[in-house]
């Protein structure tokens, strides 16, 4: 069946409708294009702004990186300075000194000269104590500059410790040239220094030790040790001098170190013992024991029984005398308590006390503790001191006498007349006992000078109320001479030799 034909009005209507639709689409397309162009413009502008920000950020970042790189480089320089140089004086530190010494040794093995100087300022602690650490630091800086100015361009000055410097000399094999340099440096140190705001000159002295390659060592450790040893020998020789290393110095130092270690071990391992020598009185014609002197012995594991003269002076020089003296004090009090508990009458036990022990701040506390722990009456303990205790610190000695008197402990002036003792000490200090040294007894009764000395001492001691003890009595003639002149307390081989505690108990029984 055929479709009906379209009319003219119908065709026009369709055409109009299509045109309207197309117009509408064109309007929408133009609107969308304007919106797209606007959005593109906005985004383009935003992108441009972001790019500008990014460029500025990048530029700032590049500047920051550059600055931080420079700062890092400066820090690395500073760290190298801290790692290799002393912050106070600007001298090389121990690390750089060691590295340069290692390099110099390599060159020295091909014929280049090499020497080390160890320079230690004498008593520099007094400078800090008197003028303060600020002035002390300034003095150290100036001294380091003086030492640096006295060296060649290939030499090194290093600060090794607070007041100790090391010098590395290269290019010389002559001992005379090295000694000349050392003496020149010592003279430079001794020139007066005027610290800022101090107003007074300060003069510093130094001790110098010299070691040369290869005579005194072929490696860094050996050379350093040799220079150090020589420096300490300069200290022991009176300070303010220069000493060249000698193999004998090293041997002595090793022996002293070994002795020090052995003494510490002996204290810890109880290798010591006390031997007792009786003090005898003949008053009334009857021999009676009125006391013992405790004498230290060291049962050395290799050398056998050693007497005090073989180790006490060394112990005192190394301050070992303080713990060793405390051991003697405690042991003597324990032995005295043992004698009392055994019902044996012995008078008192005396122990020798050195100036260094008395100078120890805790000395009186040690005495108090020993008496308290053993429940020993103070009158059973006697301390024998020499006049060096009185000379070193008179004020402390007076305080010591007062404290011991409160404890009931008696004090004996030992070795009277052998050093600086004078009758002025007998007047000023309240000694209970005066002990006359054996050096005045050996030649009695034939030596007129010693006879006169003894005849002068005995009546003065009696009038001052002191008991007089004479040590070193070995002959009947000596005993008779002393007894006839009023001395009634004796100690010596004529009566008994020092003995361990069990024998002392048997002696008293």
Instruction: Report which DSSP code applies to 496.
Output: -
For the beta carbon of residue 8, count every other beta carbon within 10 angstroms: 7
For 223, the token pair is: 């050379």
State the residue for tokens 């790019």: 51
Where are the domains positioned within the chain?
94-245, 256-508
Structure token pair of residue 319: 């301050």
The CA distance from 263 to 121, in Å, is 30
Q: Considering the domain 94-245, what is its CATH architecture?
A: 2-Layer Sandwich (3.30)
Query: Class of 256-508 per CATH?
Result: alpha beta
CB neighbourhood size of 467 (10 A): 20
pLDDT per residue of the chain (509 residues) written in tens, 0 to 9: 555 555 666 677 777 777 778 788 888 888 888 888 888 888 888 888 888 888 888 888 877 787 777 767 665 555 555 678 999 999 999 999 999 999 999 988 888 889 999 999 999 999 998 999 899 999 999 999 999 999 988 899 999 999 999 999 998 878 999 999 999 999 999 999 999 888 889 999 999 999 999 999 999 999 999 999 999 999 988 899 999 998 887 788 888 888 999 999 999 998 999 999 999 998 777 889 999 999 999 999 999 999 999 999 999 887 899 999 999 999 999 999 999 999 999 999 999 998 889 888 899 999 999 999 999 999 999 999 887 777 766 777 888 888 999 999 999 988 776 665 567 777 778 889 999 888 889 888 888 898 998 888 888 888 888 899 999 999 999 999 999 888 889 999 999 999 999 999 999 98
334 closest CA partner among 374, 369, 297: 374
Angstrom distance (rounded) from CA 336 to CA 345: 10
Identify whether the C-beta of residue 122 lies closer than 8 Å to the C-beta of residue 240.
yes
The CA angle 308-309-314, to the nearest 5 degrees, is 90
For 287-409, list the strands marked E by DSSP. Answer: 288-300, 304-306, 348-353, 381-385
């Amino acid at each position: 069946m055929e479709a009906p034909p379209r009319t003219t009005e119908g065709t026009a209507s369709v055409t109009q409708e299509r045109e309207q639709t197309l117009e509408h689409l064109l309007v929408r397309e133009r609107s969308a294009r304007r919106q797209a162009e606007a959005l593109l413009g906005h985004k383009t502008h935003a992108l441009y702004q972001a790019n500008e920000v990014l460029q500025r950020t990048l530029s700032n970042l590049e500047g920051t990186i550059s600055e931080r790189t420079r700062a890092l480089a400066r820090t690395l320089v500073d760290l190298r300075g801290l790692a290799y140089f002393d912050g106070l004086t600007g001298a090389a530190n121990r690390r750089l000194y060691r590295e340069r010494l290692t390099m110099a040794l390599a060159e020295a093995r091909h014929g280049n000269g090499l020497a080390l100087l160890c320079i230690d300022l004498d008593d520099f602690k007094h400078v800090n104590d008197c003028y303060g650490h600020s002035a002390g630091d300034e003095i150290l800086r100036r001294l380091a500059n003086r030492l640096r100015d006295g060296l060649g361009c290939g030499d090194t000055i290093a600060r090794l410790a607070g007041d100790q410097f090391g010098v590395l000399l290269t290019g010389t094999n002559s001992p005379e040239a090295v000694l000349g340099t050392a003496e020149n440096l010592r003279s430079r140190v001794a020139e007066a220094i005027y610290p800022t705001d101090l107003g007074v000159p300060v003069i510093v002295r130094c001790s110098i030790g010299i070691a040369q390659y290869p005579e005194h060592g072929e490696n860094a450790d050996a050379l350093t040790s040799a220079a150090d040893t020589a420096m300490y020998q300069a200290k022991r020789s009176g300070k303010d001098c220069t000493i060249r290393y000698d193999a004998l110095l090293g041997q002595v130092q090793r022996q002293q170190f070994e002795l020090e270690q052995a003494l510490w071990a002996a204290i810890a391992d109880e290798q010591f013992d006390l031997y007792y020598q009786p003090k005898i009185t003949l008053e009334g014609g009857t021999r009676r024991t009125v006391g013992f002197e405790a004498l230290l012995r060291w049962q050395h594991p290799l050398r056998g029984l050693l007497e005090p003269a073989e180790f006490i002076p060394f112990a005192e020089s190394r301050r070992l005398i303080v713990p060793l003296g405390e051991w003697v004090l405690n042991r003597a009090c324990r032995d005295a308590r043992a004698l009392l508990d055994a019902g044996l009458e012995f008078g008192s036990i005396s122990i020798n006390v050195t100036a260094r022990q008395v100078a120890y701040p805790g000395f009186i506390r040690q005495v108090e503790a020993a008496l308290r722990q053993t429940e020993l009456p103070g009158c059973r303990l006697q301390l024998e001191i020499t006049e060096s205790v009185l000379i070193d610190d008179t004020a402390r000695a007076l305080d010591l006498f007062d404290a011991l008197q409160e404890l009931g402990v008696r004090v004996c002036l030992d070795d009277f007349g052998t050093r600086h003792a004078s009758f002025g000490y007998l007047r000023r200090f309240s000694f209970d006992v005066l002990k006359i040294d054996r050096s005045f007894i050996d030649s009695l009764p034939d030596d007129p000078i010693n006879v006169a000395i003894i005849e002068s001492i005995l009546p003065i001691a009696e009038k001052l109320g002191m008991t007089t003890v004479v040590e070193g009595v070995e002959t009947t003639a000596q005993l008779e001479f002393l007894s006839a002149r009023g001395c009634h307390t004796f100690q010596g081989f004529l009566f008994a030799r020092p003995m361990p505690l069990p024998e002392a108990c048997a002696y008293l029984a």
